[in-house]
Structure 1
Amino acid sequence: MLAFVTVGTTSFNDLIREVCSDQCLKALKKRGFKKLLLQIGRGTFIPDTTSKILDVEYYKYKNKIIEDINKADLVISHAGAGTSLEVLTAKKHLLVVVNDNLMNNHQLELADQLQKEGFCYYTNCQNLAEYLSTINLSDLKPYIPGNPELFISFLDEVTGIKSLST
């Protein structure tokens, strides 16, 4: 099984450092994971790829990470809206890790709402190992994306575009 960690285009050294800790690696192994793949973005913390606990690989960026998301059994992610929705739309289990160092942390609001809806779990770096040991991924509900055509149609009506083209 594969756990994929992504921080997007940001730097989130605390998440990468914590998920690579022996405690987190052991929690993942206990859940049956064999490999940890990390997308570290602009981070300066370089993961140790010689772990005896799990096979660990990393890279900084790829044009598209959807291939890695699709291969993953669990995605551990920063709380970026785009990344969260991409993972949920791919119907993957998601554990969001909120960056407590951000000011005016809108990511916390998003993560909290997604958890309230039952689509993901969220935590912070300090509690990551505990969450990896205790969460029940089968309790998560599948995310069903909205219909963007309905929204576009609504906007067309409100702005009068639809009446002009008919």
Structure 2
Amino acid sequence: MKTVFVTVGTTSFDDLIDTVTSDESVKALIQRGFTGVNLQVGRGSVVPDPESCPGLKLQVFRFKDSIAEDMRHSDLVISHAGAGSCLEALGANKPLLVVVNDKLMDNHQLELARQLQADSHLIYCTCSTLPQTLREMDLTTLRPFAPGEPQNFAKFLDKAVGLV
């Protein structure tokens, strides 16, 4: 089964939930060969019925202690643009489509998404362009995200405070 994992993290992003379960998005996912959607709705008020996406097996939940397993078993991650969710998906080496909430003021999420797309680590869109992006995206252009090297910062800090 080819599965999409959709996450809004611990926030509320009802527009994403509505858009990803819309007829147009469901058709685009089916055309791309997906058969299942695992949907984390977070604190939102929109909780789709499991039968609301004809042609896809839809599983819905609010929260779990960890979504690492959901990411690991997915073929595509669609996520809100929160840094934690983005880094978790990229760290799991999963193709990532980030949906930026363009209704937020002073949206720092857009800056992160733009830079990571420029570096070919993910594809981003907004809710209004999600169905089109699902139809047209080329996941083969994405490059793996290199893990961080925290030991470099520790060495710098040790040197800066005179421990080395």
TM-score (norm 2): 0.96
Q: Alpha-carbon deviation of 1:80?
A: 0.6
Aligned length: 162
The AA in structure 2 aligned to 1:20 is: T
User: Residue 45 of structure 1 corresponds to which residue in structure 2?
Assistant: 46
> What percent identity do the matched residue pairs reach?
51
Q: Alpha-carbon deviation of 1:134?
A: 0.3
Partners of 1:157 and 1:56 in 2: CA distance: 52
* Matched ranges for 1:134-149 at <5 A: 134-149=136-151
| Consecutive aligned runs of 4 or more in structure 1 exceeding 4 Å deviation | none
SS at match of 1:141: coil
Q: Alpha-carbon deviation of 1:159?
A: 2.2
User: Residue 103 of structure 1 corresponds to which residue in structure 2?
Assistant: 105
TM-score (norm 1): 0.95
Deviations 1:12-33 (A, max 9, x none): 0000000000110110111110
Deviations 1:26-81 (A, max 9, x none): 10111110000101100000112113221111100001101101111000000011
User: Residue 161 of structure 2 corresponds to which residue in structure 1?
Assistant: 159
The AA in structure 1 aligned to 2:8 is: V
Q: Give the gaps of 5 or more residues in structure 2.
A: none
The Cα RMSD (Å) is 0.8
User: Residue 30 of structure 2 corresponds to which residue in structure 1?
Assistant: 29
Partners of 1:10 and 1:43 in 2: CA distance: 7
Partners of 1:151 and 1:72 in 2: CA distance: 32
SS at match of 1:104: coil
